[in-house]
Structure 1
């Protein structure tokens, strides 16, 4: 069995009265495992998809080591590579936050703004990390699987029919 933590599954979370979201149970377990038993969640923004991302501390270390490997490969091939800039892009935007035993956490305001998130999020496990979407943005993203887009669209329609609760 590999030590790699893989996230899968999906869930919605509506912010509570304090503005906290709830990390889905299985993702919470995986994050805690990936963070050495601590309730420590790493959050960032996906550079290409327009959503936030979440993962445990082990993936943060993976990102650092990946840049070191790219730097070694570039040096061996005698081609230019700006390792410092790449570390800034991959690690400089990560916000580490705590979550309580119920999975409640605050999404950093900068990350919320970049991803357009307000009062509801859709968690979407995609391997080494999970994505955190503004549901409407995911529905409008043609690159996402139709099954997921349709699930989110139906949830939004049901929420609107119930008065947005």
Structure 2
């Protein structure tokens, strides 16, 4: 991360984003369970909305279903930021998103299927819910940068 809050989105992620649509944009949100950011391309937002709709249909007999649906929508869409990246893949992580994700001067990008996550590597290594094999990836990336874990 540079002084302006810019970080490069890895090429393997940019390729997927650009294949799915014309936009050089990512959507950032606070991950619902981890202290990191959830990120995806704008086209995924429509899929996310459809998933929430299906979940509401499954739970519609629950008296609180509509309230829960509205809360999920708020978190999924109102608490997000769309940020463009330049031709070299640099994106500015907005200060609020950096705070929500606990991102400091280093960012660890991990593909997770339809989305990807952006972590503070130290937070990632300290999380007891992360498997050790995955932590080895973070340690390796830190070693590449000359940072001890």
- State the TM-score, normalized to the length of structure 1: 0.79
Partner residue of 1:88 out of 64, 74, 86: 74
Matched, 1:49 2:34: yes
**Match of residue 101 from structure 1:** 87
Task: Give 1:150-165 correspondences, 5 Å limit.
Answer: 150-156=136-142, 159-160=146-147
Cα distance in structure 1, aligned partners of 2:137 and 2:71: 38
Considering fraction of residues, name the structure with more helix: 2
Q: Which runs of 4+ in 1 moved over 3 A?
A: 154-158
**Match of residue 115 from structure 2:** 129
Structure 1 stretches lacking a partner, 5+ long: 1-14
Instruction: Summarize the Cα distance change of 1:160–1:38 in structure 2 as closer, same or farther, 3 Å threshold.
Output: closer
Cα distance in structure 1, aligned partners of 2:59 and 2:101: 32
Residue aligned with 2:34, SS: coil
Partner residue of 2:58 out of 48, 73, 80: 73
RMSD over aligned Cα atoms:
1.8
Contact 1:50 1:115 in 2 (8 A): yes
**Match of residue 3 from structure 1:** none
